[in-house]
Amino acid sequence: MATQEFPITNISHLIPQKTPFVMVDTLLDFTPNKVKSSFTIQEDNLLVKDHYFLESGLIENMAQTVALHTGYDFFLRNEVAPTGYIGSIKKVEVFQLPKLHETITTEAHILHEFMGVTMVEVKAFNQNQEEIASAQMKTVIAN
């Protein structure tokens, strides 16, 4: 079984997204039921406008955090990370848009997982640990 020390900054093999559409950059923590990531918002990010990370960026960051959980879980079993899709998003709330160069942290908690379908609750936090966004997502692993 593979393992690494946290934080893990080389995560490109753990998520299906590729540059320039990567919205997570560090795996901070992992358990079978949760994952925590971080992301520093850069000027060249496609989802930055007027020095703010847009709502769509926060939602993508939350989805990629979920993908990071799946990818790392497969990595630990020495298997290739599968491609997955967002099946649904509900109860999205954005309280604050993070600014350029800010590092946000995102936590996903697995609520249910069955036959490749995962229901998660995801929350994003600013550098002051204030909740800036939340959502429930259902993700599906492609067959």
The domain ranges of the chain are 26-141
Dist. CA 78–CA 136, nearest whole Å: 29
pLDDT tens figures, 18-56: 889 999 999 999 999 999 999 999 999 999 999 999 999
pLDDT tens figures, 53-103: 999 999 999 999 999 999 999 999 999 888 888 889 999 999 999 999 999
Structural tokens at position 13: 């093999």
Residue 1: per-residue pLDDT: 53
pTM of the model: 0.94
**CATH class of the structural domain 26-141:** alpha beta
* Contact of 67 with 75, CB cutoff 8 Å: no
SS3 of residue 27 by DSSP: strand
